[in-house]
């Protein structure tokens, strides 16, 4: 099993990602850190605790991270994820609070103890950038650094060119691509857009696992409406679980190595990921950019691990 820290902003799809990670025998989630993104940090932490309670895993500690991006003003995504970040499902609060340490210190202390700990970043990259700024060398032996963010050929989801996690804190995203000493596995919109939770999949989930299936229904209903209204998609795109799936089984995604950077200027290009696929800049690759996904393999993994479906 691989030890992993999950840095996230739950968030509907972050919550589904947490469920997949907590149920995967290949992964040992050593801690969850939250960052302001879809919702303010403390709401994200409350939601992480709700998911841990559902998975009966309140032994996993949750740490609070950045309350605002490095430089730009904070803009949440509560229009997409609901005021409570879980599709306005208003699930009962879980009161177990792990106080005492902040996200960045937890990340650095964990890497100090086990330098090979993998990191999954599912939200804006503020915490990761702050940790890197404090101690870049701490990341030198990280086994896998996987993030959900950016886009290569696909269009953006909060501007014509930018994906939300990069757009929300463009300075942090750029800093991560500038400083990270290990390859960055970028799971961007090109591949995540292909993971659509459809009404029939949801029905199937409720059939095989009524408790988990109805939890997923409760938190995604709002997201379904949003997708229909703005994108004319029936069902909803769930981005973050694909990054977890990739950490579990790297054959789910294919792509190529390239030098990537992020536009940090606060103008129309804010948060745009730039992949130098033609080597104009003669820089060594710092990233693996995913371009294709085995959608069926993803769902097989999600349904077996999270819903307990049996392989046909």
* Interaction site with ligand BDR (CB under 6 A): 11, 13-14, 38, 77, 80, 122-123, 148, 157, 163-165, 239-240
Q: CB of residue 151 vs Ca ion: minimum separation in angstroms?
A: 14
Instruction: Give the range of 2-10, 59-67, 203-211, 250-258 binding Ca ion by CB under 5 A.
Output: 2-10
Give the separation between CA 122 and CA 101, rounded to whole angstroms: 20
Cα(57)–Cα(74) distance, rounded to whole angstroms?
A: 31
Interface positions, 223-242, toward Ca ion (CB under 5 A): 240
Least Å distance, CB 80 to ligand BDR, is 6
Q: How far is the CB of 165 from ligand BDR (least distance, A)?
A: 5
Would you say 11 or 87 has its CB closer to Ca ion?
11
Of 157 and 286, which has the nearer Cβ to ligand BDR? 157
For Ca ion, the closer of residues 13 and 217 by Cβ is 13
Q: What share of the chain is helix, strand, coil (3-state, %, to 5)?
A: 40, 20, 40
Report how far apart the first and last C-alpha atoms of the chain are (Å, whole number).
26
In the bound complex, what is the minimum distance in angstroms from residue 19's beta carbon to Ca ion? 14
Q: Which is nearer to Ca ion, 246 or 259 (CB)?
A: 246
Question: φ, ψ for residue 175 (rounded to 5)?
Answer: -60, -40
Instruction: Show contacts with Ca ion in window 4-43 (CB under 5 A).
Output: 9, 11, 14
Give the span between the Cα atoms of 48 and 17, in whole angstroms.
11
Cβ 122 to Ca ion shortest distance, Å: 4
| Crossing angle between the packed helical segments 12-23 and 295-307, to the nearest 10 degrees | 70
Per the CB < 8 A criterion, the answer to whether 309 and 272 are in contact is no
Question: In residues, how long is the chain?
Answer: 312
190 binds, options ligand BDR, Ca ion, none, Cβ within 5 to 8 A by partner type: none
Check residue 284 and report its DSSP letter: -
Q: For residues 231 and 8, what is the distance between their CA atoms, to the nearest angstrom?
A: 24
Indicate whether 122 belongs to the interface with Ca ion (CB under 5 A): yes
What residue ranges bind Ca ion (CB under 5 A)? 9, 11, 14, 122-123, 240
């Amino acid at each position: 099993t691989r030890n992993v820290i999950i840095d996230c902003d739950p968030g509907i799809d972050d919550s589904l990602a947490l469920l997949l990670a907590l149920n995967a025998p290949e992964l040992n989630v050593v801690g969850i850190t939250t960052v302001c993104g879809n919702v303010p940090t403390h709401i994200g932490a409350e939601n992480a605790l709700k998911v841990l309670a559902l998975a009966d895993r309140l032994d996993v500690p949750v740490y609070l991270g950045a309350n605002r991006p490095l430089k730009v003003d904070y803009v949440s995504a509560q229009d997409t994820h609901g005021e409570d970040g879980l599709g306005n499902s208003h699930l009962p609060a879980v009161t177990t609070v792990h106080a005492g340490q902040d996200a960045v210190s937890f990340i650095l202390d964990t890497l100090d103890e086990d330098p090979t700990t993998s990191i999954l970043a599912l939200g804006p990259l503020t915490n990761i950038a702050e940790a890197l700024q404090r101690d870049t060398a701490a990341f030198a032996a990280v086994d896998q650094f996987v993030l959900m963010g950016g886009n290569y050929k696909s269009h953006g989801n909060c501007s014509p060119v930018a994906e939300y996690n990069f757009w929300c804190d463009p300075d942090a995203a750029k800093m991560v691509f500038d400083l990270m000493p290990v390859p960055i596995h970028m799971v961007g919109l090109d591949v995540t857009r292909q993971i659509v939770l459809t009404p029939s999949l949801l029905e199937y989930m409720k059939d095989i696992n009524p408790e988990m299936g109805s939890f997923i229904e409760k938190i995604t209903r709002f997201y379904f409406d949003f997708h229909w209204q703005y994108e004319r998609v029936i069902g909803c795109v769930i981005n973050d679980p694909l990054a977890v799936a990739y950490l579990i089984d790297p054959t789910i995604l294919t792509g190529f190595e390239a030098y990537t950077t992020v536009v940090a200027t606060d103008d129309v290009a804010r948060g745009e990921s730039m992949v130098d696929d033609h080597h104009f800049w003669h820089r060594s690759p710092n990233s693996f950019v995913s371009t294709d996904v085995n959608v069926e393999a993803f769902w097989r993994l999600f349904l077996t691990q999270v819903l307990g479906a049996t392989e046909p």
